[in-house]
A = this chain, B = another copy of it.
Amino acid sequence: MEQLLSWISVHQEILYIVILMIFVGIEVIGRVPSVLHTPLMSGANAIHGVVIIGAIIVMGKAASSNYLALILGFIAVIVGTLNVVGGFVVTDRMLEMFSKKKK
């Protein structure tokens, strides 16, 4: 209990950020019309591609003798990029459909 409280106290800023972000995430989505569900899912999918930053850090820190880290990191960078680039491009294509119809 005491440990937990002190942990909370030490990490209070991060906790605030996480909690507020959860509220933001929920509120921002709240009013989406159902036609936009799929593009929204796809856009959110692209955003979590931010995990690629972790892959870049892993890759960039890997010692040139550490083959495991190099290879896994390289794959991580590739798949992460796939997530980001593919995600944004496919979302854009979906939304192109909608805007084309609008005009």
Chain A residues with CB under 8 Å of chain B are 13-14, 16-17, 20-21, 23-24, 27-28, 30-31
- The distance in angstroms between the C-alpha atoms of A84 and B86, with both chains bound, is 51
* Extra pairs beyond A20-B21, A23-B28, A24-B24 (7, CB < 8 Å): A13-B14, A16-B20, A20-B24, A23-B24, A23-B27, A24-B27, A27-B27
Nearest CB in chain B: distance from A26 CB, A: 9
19 contacts between A and B (CB under 8 A): A13-B13, A13-B14, A13-B16, A16-B17, A16-B20, A17-B17, A17-B20, A20-B20, A20-B23, A20-B24, A23-B24, A23-B27, A24-B24, A24-B27, A27-B27, A27-B28, A27-B30, A30-B31, A31-B31
